[in-house]
Amino acid sequence: MTERIWEVFRQEADGDPMVHAGNVNAPDDELAVHYARELYSRRGESHRLWVVPRDAITELGDPDLLRPPFDRTHKKPGGYIIKHKLEAAKQRAAAEAGEAPDG
Amino acid sequence: MVEQSAVTLDATARGALAELLLSVADDEFVIGFWDSEWTGIAPMLEEDVATSSIAQDEIGHARALYEMLAELTGDDADRIAYGRDADGFRHASLLNHARGDWAFSVARRYLYETADAVRLAALARSADPSLAALAGKMRREETYHLLHADAWLSRLAEGGGEGRERLAAALSVLWADAQDVFAPLASEEELVRSGMLPEPMRALHAEWHSRVRPILDAVAADLPALAPSLDGRTRRTDDFRWLHGEFTSVYRSEEGALW
């Protein structure tokens, strides 16, 4: 049998993000799904699986593209303080809710 | 059909239900032990995990059935599973054969899973509510088992070469004994009359036969049309006696011990 590698992603509960679990060797799509089920949910630990042929994944791993050598701090939101504005907005919302208790 | 629970059954009905439960439980138990013999040596790592896991599922089904039987007869599930001698088992003769090579195990799993699917579909309609509920639950897991067996049968059949030859050879060895999953039960009349078994075994056998025949004809020519044999659940072989010695060895080492 010619085997290919399939990457398996699993979701623990409905709504959770799909997280990479590992991979399986299999000769085709059908057995890949069987093996993913047995290796990553035979004890009922997954809510959903994604089984993806490794060669269907487009990889981007070039550090020049992902982490360019120039300073990026101006793209981060660190300089913008919203804490006080957020608290004020929450208080305003609470006050409005108090005025109209029956909605 | 009147809804009834196990406790209200009279002695005849209880005995009949016990025979039915034992036959299904022993089938699941014995195929589970045979297939667990592949742990560590299946064709590839992933298949090793899959086969072992399916074998464990079958043991799990057997356990649920033995527990139901134990409750019905006031016995103990572990004693029923491990405390009987080889001749006390009531599995179909299909499960008397040793594991064999991979193609042999695939052929047997296919024959058994297809027969089990027909039987479980009937038992899910049983007039006994506990049995109907358990059969319904087992079917959910057996659907996957059948898909897995189906996937392997078609791969060996369509792959050609040695795999296909070995598969055809295995099918011709196992075919006659495969009928015996539907061997008549001594108390079958009572089971059918009460609706605990909604259809007689011969009807289930005919349904299974018409379902698998077209698929198997494409692999192994000249499989004869056969009926289940009367002693299909009482014949035992040296292969099974060996397996029985293996799976009872721990129980016999300290009988009655709590693990």
Q: What's residue B86's pLDDT? A: 97
Q: Are A5 and A24 in contact (CB under 8 A)?
A: yes
Q: Say yes or no: B247 contacts chain A, CB-CB below 8 A.
A: no
* Interface contact flag, A34 B155, Cβ < 8 Å: no
DSSP B228: P
Is the separation of the CB atoms in B211 and B118 below 8 Å? yes
**Are B6 and B17 within 8 A, CB to CB?**
yes
B147 near A CB under 8 A: yes
DSSP B229: P
- Select the residue of B44, B46, B148 nearest A39 (Cβ to Cβ): B46
| Distance from C-alpha of B174 to C-alpha of A99, rounded to nearest angstrom | 80
| B154 shares contact with chain A (CB less than 8 Å) | no
Predicted pLDDT at B3: 47
**Interchain proximity B44–A25, CB inside 8 Å:** yes
Q: What is the DSSP letter of B2?
A: -
Task: State the Cα angle at B103 between B98 and B108, rounded to 5°.
Answer: 55
Q: Does the pLDDT of residue A1 top 70, yes or no?
A: no
Distance of CA B153 to the CA centre of its chain: 18
Closest residue on chain A to B147 (Cα): A34
Say if the Cβ atoms of B45 and A1 lie within 8 Å. Answer: no
**DSSP labels for B39-83?**
TTTSSSHHHHHHHHHHHHHHHHHHHHHHHHHHHHHT--HHHHHHS
DSSP conformation letters of B99-164:
--SHHHHHHHHHHHHHHHHHHHHHHTT-SSHHHHHHHHHHHHHHHHHHHHHHHHHHHHHHH-HHHH
What residue in B sits closest to A31 (Cα-Cα)? B151
Would the CB atoms of A25 and B46 count as touching at under 8 Å?
yes
Contact A38 B49 (CB under 8 A): yes
Enumerate the residues of chain B whose CB falls inside 8 A of the CB of residue A1.
Answer: 43-44
Mark yes or no for CB contact B50/A38 under 8 Å. Answer: yes
Confidence (pLDDT) at A85: 87
Longest Cα pair distance anywhere in chain B, in angstroms? 57
A5: nearest CA partner in chain B: B46
Q: Cα(first)–Cα(last) distance of chain B, in Å?
A: 42
Contact B46 A30 (CB under 8 A): no
Q: Which of B187, B206, B212 is nearest to B197 (CA)?
A: B187
Q: State yes or no: pLDDT of A102 exceeds 60.
A: no
Q: Say if B3 is an interface residue toward chain A (CB within 8 Å).
A: no
Measured in angstroms, the CA of A36 and the nearest CA of chain B are apart by 9
pLDDT(A59) > 80: yes
Chain A contact set for B58 (CB, 8 A): none
Query: What does the mean pLDDT of chain A come to?
Result: 89
CB pairs under 8 A between A and B: 32
The more confidently predicted of residues A3 and A24 is: A24
Q: Do B58 and B29 contact (CB within 8 A), yes or no?
A: yes
Q: Which pLDDT score, from 0 to 100, does residue B9 have?
A: 86
| C-alpha–C-alpha distance, residues A10 and A32, integer Å | 14
- Cα–Cα distance list, A82 to A79, A87, A90 (Å): 10, 9, 12
**The pLDDT value given to residue B7:** 52
- The pLDDT score that the predictor gives to residue A77 is 74
The whole-number average pLDDT for the span A17-41 is 96
Write the DSSP symbol of residue B181.
G
Quick check: A3 and B44 CB within 8 A? Answer: yes
B162 touches chain A (CB under 8 A): no
pLDDT at position A103: 45
How many Cβ atoms sit within 10 Å of the Cβ of residue B56?
A: 15
Residue B259 is predicted with a pLDDT of: 67
In terms of pLDDT, which residue wins out, A71 or B207? B207
Contacts 24+ apart (CB under 8 A), B170-173: B170/B100, B170/B101, B170/B103, B170/B104, B170/B106, B170/B107, B170/B108, B171/B107, B171/B111, B171/B216, B171/B219, B171/B220, B171/B223, B172/B220, B172/B223, B173/B97, B173/B104
pLDDT mean by block of 10 residues, chain B; 259 residues = 58 96 98 97 95 96 98 96 97 97 98 98 98 97 93 94 96 98 98 98 98 94 93 98 96 81
